[in-house]
Structure 1
Amino acid sequence: MQREAERARAVRERDAARRAREAQRSQAARARERVADQKERARLYALARAEEVAGDNAELEAEVAALEGVLASTLDIDDFLDLETLKRPLVLPQFDPSVAGVVRPAPRLEEFLPDAPSGLGRAFGGAARHQERVQQAQAAFERAAAAHQVQVQAHGRDFEAARRRHDAEVARLAVEHREQIEQVTDLQRGLAAGLPDAVVGYLDLVLEAAAYPDGFPHAWRLAYSPETRQLVVEYELPAREVVPVAKAYRYIKSSDTVTPVARSQAQIRALYSSVVAQTVLRVVHEVLESDRAGRVASVVLNAHVTATDPGTGRPVRPCLVALGTTRSRFMELDLRRVDPAACLRHLEARVSRDPAALVPVETMVRFDSIDLRFSSETEQVGQPATAGSAVNDSAPAPTLVTPGSDERRPAVPVRPEPLNPSAEQDLSAGQNVVLTGPVIDVSLPEAWTSPADLSVLMLGPDGRVAGDDNFIFFNNPTAADGAIGLRGGDNPDGATIDLSLLPEHCERLVLVASGADPTVDVARTALLILDPAAERSQLTFRPTDTTVMPALICAEIYRRHGSWRLRAVGQGYGDGLAGLARDYGVNVN
């Protein structure tokens, strides 16, 4: 018995020792697995961070490549805009009946009736109780049927309302599509006829269609002179911040951080100067290449940038490049092989010696001092205007509306004027104000040496009168709809204009002062506008031009995004009122 007990104890000790060894081996294996897993996780994490940094570097390189290829990216693209492609097919939504909800099936009497009693149940009075339950079931069925009828009627009303909303949406989309097709067609006809407004509208769409890298403001102002076939462009350049300050990104494994490698200031200045030069050449290229009919004979471009002066901390808008060139000279260039900076020097452009430092150059021409009869403007040019303040705005360009989409961007002023707290304000040439209306008064308080007559032309979307009745002058002193009435008899020197009565086709009013004496002095002409409902109810404009002219466009009143605005013009006509009227489509024979 002792030997057996000793053998059993020895077996137990060996088993315990074996289990201990196995436990140690298992624990060591798990420790090795944890270490291996941690190493693998660390390796995969480092690999993931390295791939992330590589992706960031690839994006950075692509961003820099896009800046270096601003000009080259458009040379393989035909900038001509086929207006026919803007006539998109009409796609109407299908009516979905489910929007009105689902009506449950009508209740059936069988669903409410109780089961008939068995033979034994009938023997013990079950028939009477069954009849009572049948009556209760019938009453419940009638209530359910009445409720179902109410639901059917409500569903019918909801269905008809949903149908009406759908039909109204379809009608709205159809109207928008028809208007969009008509606008494109009108633009095509105007462009074929060489109408200045159509030329400006087309070039505005060409610039709008151009794709630039991220960070470019993509904003401009255009003004076209049909007499000289010159296009003046004021273009908004990207700020220096468009150039990335990081040259590359580096992953430091020991600290698990991503550190940017800074791009040198010399590299930033060089790349930004290249971007500025490329952008200027590209804009001129897009305009001239898209103008297959040769409506533009020369281009004047002033390229500005809106930035913050590092010395004063205040916003500034210097001109960095001013370029004037003719079509023939520019089209001789091989833009694929030129150095942009050298090309601008060849074109004798004025170029900032350090665009990144905002060193300005003198503009070729002040945009607000030129003829703005045929002009266009996008938003974001310069700084936004204060509500109610006078702005330097341009005449509206054709607005192409795509069904189901927002309208093109509305115009925003280039340089807002500070709000004038007084009731009077003197206007300068090119300046714009919003009219409150609806009734305004126009007069010539300071006339020429000989009496000056006030005339008004009512222009349509094509910039011309719809008929001779739209020329309001001393022989036709009242508009047919009563919207305009001259006063002063044979020598009218004032007019009352009710903007709410102007017909829909009237997009613009031209206020003209003229005299019979061809030696009149326009410098002594003044225009007084009274807008009683406005905060600045009295507006005065005195042209600064001293040229002797027998007729003068004092100002224009035009529609702009649902409101009426007045723009001071001050442009003289050497051949008098007859020549001015003829240019706007009036039959003067």
Structure 2
Amino acid sequence: MATVARMQREAESAAAARRRAEAAAQREAARARAAYERARAADEKERKRLYVESRMAEVAAQNESLAQRLEELDSILVSGLRTDTRFDLERLKEKPNVKPFDPGPASRPETPPLQEAFLPPPQTGMSKLFGGARHEEQVRQGQLNYQRAYAEHAQREQARQATLSRLQQEHSRRTDEARERARRQHAEVEAFKRDLAEGRPDAVAAYFDLVLNTVPLPDGFPAKWRMAYVPESAQLVVEYELPTIEVVPTVKAYRYVKTSDSVTETKRPATQVKSQYTSVISQVALRVVRDLFEADATGHVTTVVFNGMVDTVDAATGRAVRPCLLTLRTTREVFSELDLARVEPAACLKHLGAGVSRNSAELSPVRPVLEFSMVDPRFVEETDILGELDERPNLLEMSPTEFEGLIQNLFARMGLETRQTRPSRDGGVDCVAYDPRPIMGGKVVIQAKRYRNTVGVSAVRDLYGTLQNEGASKGILVTTSGYGQASFDFAKNKPIELLDGANLLYLLKEHAGVEARIEAPKGWRDPDLDRADSAAPPSPLRAGANVKISSPAVVCAFALPSPDHDPCALLLNPDRKVRSDADFIFYNQPVSADGAVEVDTAARQVRVDLARLATDVSTVLLVTSGPPGGVRLTVTERSGTAHALAADATTETVLVCAEIYRRQGGWRLRAVGHGYADGLAGLARDHGVVIE
């Protein structure tokens, strides 16, 4: 029994121990689970914290990007002011695509076989006594093998050298072709540079197109424009595509909402968005005009016309529209007076007299100061022999009556009720018309001038006086040539519209169905003596002094002491010699071979078209011949800038009054004032003219 009791106690003790162990294990498991839950909760909390931080960082990045975009839009103008936009045409020249000669394996000659490798080793010891015949046979066979290997090597080497020669010839051919392509391309660039220096319209427009292509634009801005150059008025016309209002952010700030795990937007006021859009397009206009003037190293452009267009869809009709939101005409002189780093763009445009949409966000259009389509490339100044075969009517060959009828018919087709009054003294026509539209209509005074040279500002003043005397609401001046800046300045903010030759050709085609041309017949002279704008009195230029010529053409008017004096001109090469006797322009040979220089003895003028002078003409001498006396010379640029020079002769019968000469890609005028007592003989001796 004692044994049984002992066994029971031991069993109970073991069971109790097991229960205690199980309880301990359960407690440990509970502690482990609790620790796990605590760790998991901490991990979840940390994960949520990190997630929130990442979302807030995303929102911060969005706000930073938004701030940068707003700053970029606000600094379109200022950010480009330190940029030199002049385009170096040398950059257009492509380098010959010549690769280094690499013939590969053909450049590495194969090592020739060595005879020793084919011969048996020298005999030693007993082999010298008993193996002589066998060794000789081995030597003979080795020599045969060597000769065969050497011949095969020679064949391979010959083939390698032939391959190398062929590869060298192919490389030389490819190199020559690449260099020839580069030479032709370089010649094209040089021709382009010459055309640009001469002021040819296509070259000038192409150059400024290159300039605008190098100007960086903010993201979303269209890099599209059209450009044309009007040499008659030294005017560059740009039709530039502006961005739509979508480029301006409508969001003021982004905010992360933790409770909904979402990003909300705070909208900017609509007035703020519209105001910034107006600022953006204003800055674009000022930046483009600034970049164009800055890039004009040749001085061909005195006026820039900027028309800012928008390609978009009319929300009301669903149709594609292209309204003009901003239009501007300004001169280099006026624009250079601006401190663009400190201006408020919209106020600056108002100061420049620009037309800006009253509601650019709603695409309210303004009328361009000059329609791009009216800049017609068919306008030419000189007579071409092929012109005789051209069936289009030449406006300068019409009789005054025919021209009057044409102008009257044109404006009648345009919707005006025209009444011709009288022919004007200068070959134009005075015409009174009536615009039948209510409110906007009224009496219109129209005057047309058949000119070859620039119409003077006095004609615009006369039209304004007639407009006031007639009580008209508007005046229109039409010419077959062009206007200087003084004319545009006078017409600014007045009810006057100036239409040049290109405009006239366009209107005739568009409204009257007339394909016309404007070519000056041989011997043509403008009826009016006022051929150039003179907004200010001439600036005196003393002997030895020089000044830059900014216009592509000048009129040199002489005040001579007697009817026996004649003006003349000499075209000189860099050695200050005439190229031939054809470079002596005088009363018996009044026009240079290229038509660039013309002497008008009746008007006592020398007209010089600098843009048309040959590139090997470096100097134009302005000379008078006649009895000793005082000579006065006024050189007037197309822009209206004039320079006064004086020269006095005591014994000299030929006076060199001034010279126009090339300098660093442009032209300058120098007052000379020395002469020759032996007359034309001395002039001819110094400059290589043969006088028979």
Q: TM-score, normalised by structure 1?
A: 0.54
- Residue 66 of structure 2 is matched in structure 1 by 60
Which of 5, 14, 25 aligns to 2:20? It is 14
Distance 2:241 2:199 in 1: 27
How far is 1:586 from its partner?
Answer: 12
* 1:28-67 to 2 correspondences below 5 Å: 28-67=34-73
How far is 1:311 from its partner?
Answer: 2.6
Query: Root-mean-square deviation (CA), in Å?
Result: 4.2
Structure 2 unaligned regions, length at least 5: 1-6, 105-165, 407-446, 453-479, 482-500, 503-513, 525-590, 597-610, 615-692
- Residue 78 of structure 1 is matched in structure 2 by 84
Contact 1:225 1:374 in 2 (8 A): no
Distance 1:217 1:315 in 2: 16
SS at match of 1:301: strand
Distance 1:247 1:576, change over 3 A: farther
Distance 1:54 1:350, change over 3 A: same
Distance 2:216 2:254 in 1: 28
How far is 1:585 from its partner?
Answer: 7.8
Distance 1:213 1:257, change over 3 A: same
* 1:398-409 to 2 correspondences below 5 Å: none
SS at match of 1:215: coil
How far is 1:369 from its partner?
Answer: 1.6
**CA deviation map 1:43-91 (0-9, x unaligned):** 1111111111111111111111111111111112112222223335445
Distance 1:285 1:366 in 2: 21
- Residue 572 of structure 1 is matched in structure 2 by 518
The residue type equivalent to 1:181 in the other structure is: H
The residue type equivalent to 1:18 in the other structure is: A
How far is 1:191 from its partner?
Answer: 2.5
* 1:94-493 to 2 correspondences below 5 Å: 177-178=182-183, 180-372=185-377, 472=386
**CA deviation map 1:15-63 (0-9, x unaligned):** 1111111111111222222212221221111111111111111111111
How high is the sequence identity, in percent, across the aligned residues? Answer: 43
Distance 1:286 1:85 in 2: 18
Contact 2:228 2:236 in 1 (8 A): yes
Distance 2:301 2:260 in 1: 61
SS at match of 2:328: strand
Distance 2:94 2:72 in 1: 31
How far is 1:308 from its partner?
Answer: 2.1
The residue type equivalent to 1:53 in the other structure is: V
Contact 2:378 2:517 in 1 (8 A): no
Distance 2:174 2:10 in 1: 101
How far is 1:332 from its partner?
Answer: 0.7
Distance 2:80 2:56 in 1: 35
Distance 2:450 2:183 in 1: 47
> Does residue 1:519 correspond to 2:399, yes or no?
yes
How far is 1:314 from its partner?
Answer: 2.1
The residue type equivalent to 2:520 in the other structure is: G
- Residue 141 of structure 1 is matched in structure 2 by none
Distance 2:23 2:103 in 1: 79
How far is 1:493 from its partner?
Answer: 6.8
Contact 1:49 1:251 in 2 (8 A): yes
Contact 1:371 1:571 in 2 (8 A): no
Distance 1:169 1:279, change over 3 A: farther
SS at match of 1:573: coil
Distance 1:190 1:236, change over 3 A: same
**CA deviation map 1:476-519 (0-9, x unaligned):** xxxxxxxxxxxxxxxx577xxxxxxxxxxxxxxxxx76699663
**CA deviation map 1:396-444 (0-9, x unaligned):** xxxxxxxxxxxxxxxxxxxxxxxxxxxxxxxxxxxxxxxxxxxxxxxxx
SS at match of 2:40: helix
Distance 1:300 1:255, change over 3 A: same
- Residue 145 of structure 1 is matched in structure 2 by none
Q: TM-score, normalised by structure 2?
A: 0.47
Distance 1:21 1:177, change over 3 A: farther
How far is 1:547 from its partner?
Answer: 7.4
SS at match of 1:570: coil
Contact 1:249 1:261 in 2 (8 A): yes
SS at match of 1:572: coil
Distance 1:11 1:577, change over 3 A: farther
SS at match of 1:260: strand
Distance 2:274 2:42 in 1: 50
The residue type equivalent to 1:13 in the other structure is: R
Q: Bigger CA drift: 218-227 or 205-214?
A: 218-227
How far is 1:323 from its partner?
Answer: 1.0
Contact 2:84 2:294 in 1 (8 A): yes
Distance 1:90 1:518 in 2: 55
The residue type equivalent to 2:89 in the other structure is: L
Distance 1:59 1:94, change over 3 A: farther
How far is 1:9 from its partner?
Answer: 1.7
How far is 1:293 from its partner?
Answer: 2.6
How far is 1:184 from its partner?
Answer: 2.9
The residue type equivalent to 1:573 in the other structure is: E
How far is 1:330 from its partner?
Answer: 0.5
- Residue 2 of structure 1 is matched in structure 2 by 8
Distance 1:363 1:260 in 2: 39
Contact 1:200 1:374 in 2 (8 A): no
SS at match of 1:78: coil
Structure 1 unaligned regions, length at least 5: 99-159, 376-454, 458-470, 475-491, 495-511, 525-544, 556-567
The residue type equivalent to 2:80 in the other structure is: T
SS at match of 1:232: strand
The residue type equivalent to 1:570 in the other structure is: A
How far is 1:182 from its partner?
Answer: 3.4
Contact 1:518 1:576 in 2 (8 A): no
- Residue 426 of structure 1 is matched in structure 2 by none
**CA deviation map 1:133-187 (0-9, x unaligned):** xxxxxxxxxxxxxxxxxxxxxxxxxxx99x99x9999898767655543333322
Distance 1:167 1:30, change over 3 A: farther
Distance 1:547 1:365 in 2: 19
SS at match of 2:36: helix
